[in-house]
Amino acid sequence: MDLASKISCGIDNVKYADKGGTDPWDQKKYLNIWVCNLALDVLGEQVPFVLGFAYPPVGAPLFPPGSLPEGYEVNDGVVIHYPVFGINNPGIGTLAGLNDKGRTCTHEVGHYLGLRHIWGDGDCTVDDGIADTPDADDSSQAEDPTITCESLFTKNTCSEIATQFPDMIENYMDYSKEECMNMFSQGQINMMRSMLEGPRAELVGLPASIGSVEKDGFVIFPNPTGNELNISYNSPVQYEIAILDVLGKAVFNGRSDVSKIDVSGLNNGVYFIQILGENQAFSTRFTIQK
């Protein structure tokens, strides 16, 4: 289903409180993810309308003029059908064995960062705009959970094209069995990075100097910092503290008796600090700039 059809049928209502959904946080500064029911009742059975969808950044070069509906940017964000969100979701039902690895969200974030489907949404004559992804006649839509990944590795739907490699069924931007998915190509990585350095730059960028961040009684300073990050808050409750890099990898873990964190060993860039208590959570970004 194309993006214009999704909008016309009201599938974006989940993003509006006055339409029964939830309003987004600032879409220029946050990646919003809505997890909801995207199924329709068909003869008494819940049939997924789609498993997820997302819109690319304004100006994403892989989407030609006219391929996106006018005004789509106001609906920016990612929407995921709840049974396929996360790994081994207990609500997975009939999608078990096909969509139970949480990679629907990975796929949709790929769209959010400017990627098209691996088959270019067309036949062998249509390209996805990424040089190192082989052409394919269509998606590798999996319908039988018993099919093994190994049996698909030699699948080549565009074999009549000279020097054509097999379909990249292991790519996150295919529709293949999620167990088979494990990679983005280097060209896709470069495209997503260019979106994060261009139209999505506010997601990871911070002003050059904002001094400190204060929220919910917590104060983090200085920001940016070069060697040391200070934490100030007044609470008798014990908290867990974690610092994550932009890939979500924990680079520091500690407890609430820590008031200063040595970050001198970390590279320049944007990081996230999370302070988690039993009934309260604080999270914000900070920059290391030496």
pLDDT in tens, 132-185: 999 999 988 877 888 889 988 888 999 877 667 899 999 999 999 999 999 999
Q: What is the pLDDT of residue 5?
A: 44
Residue whose C-alpha is closest to residue 48's, from 84, 16, 78, 24: 84
Q: What is the pLDDT of residue 286?
A: 85
Across the chain, mean pLDDT equals: 84
Please enumerate, as own/partner, the contacts of 14-19 that have beta carbons within 8 Å and a separation of 24 or more: 14/79, 15/75, 15/77, 15/79
Q: pLDDT, tens digit, for every residue of 95-127? A: 888 999 999 999 999 999 999 999 999 999 988
What mean pLDDT do residues 7-23 have? 81
Which range is least confidently modeled, 10-19, 26-35, 92-101, 245-254?
245-254
Residue 40, strand partner residues: 47
Q: CB neighbours of 285 closer than 8 A, spacing ≥ 6?
A: 204, 206, 213, 270, 271, 272, 273
Q: Does residue 246 register a pLDDT over 80?
A: no
Which is it for strands 211-215 and 78-81: parallel, antiparallel or unpaired? Answer: unpaired
Torsions phi, psi for 53 (to 5 deg): -160, 160
The domain limits of the chain are: 3-202, 211-288
What mean pLDDT do residues 273-280 have? 74
Active site positions, annotated: 108
Per DSSP, the three-state class of 272 is strand
Q: Does residue 214 register a pLDDT over 70?
A: no
Rounded Cα–Cα distance for residues 88 and 92 (Å): 7
Pair of tokens at residue 202: 């506010």
Q: Does residue 210 register a pLDDT over 70?
A: no
Class of the CATH-defined domain 211-288:
mainly beta
Q: What is the pLDDT of residue 279?
A: 63
- Strand ordering across the sheet containing 52-54: 33-36, 78-81, 52-54
Q: Does residue 2 register a pLDDT over 50?
A: no
- Kindly indicate the confidence band of residue 247, based on its pLDDT and cuts at 50, 70 and 90: confident
Of the segments 50-64, 154-168, 239-253, 268-282, which one has the largest average pLDDT value? 50-64
Q: What is the pLDDT of residue 8?
A: 41
| Residue of 38 and 239 predicted with greater confidence | 38
- Kindly indicate the confidence band of residue 1, based on its pLDDT and cuts at 50, 70 and 90: very low
- Kindly indicate the confidence band of residue 10, based on its pLDDT and cuts at 50, 70 and 90: confident
Q: What is the pLDDT of residue 171?
A: 96
What mean pLDDT do residues 19-44 have? 86
Q: What is the pLDDT of residue 129?
A: 93
Q: Does residue 189 register a pLDDT over 90?
A: yes
Q: What is the pLDDT of residue 244?
A: 86
Q: CB neighbours of 270 closer than 8 A, spacing ≥ 6?
A: 204, 205, 206, 246, 285, 286, 287
**Does 3-202 carry CATH code 3.40.390.10?**
yes
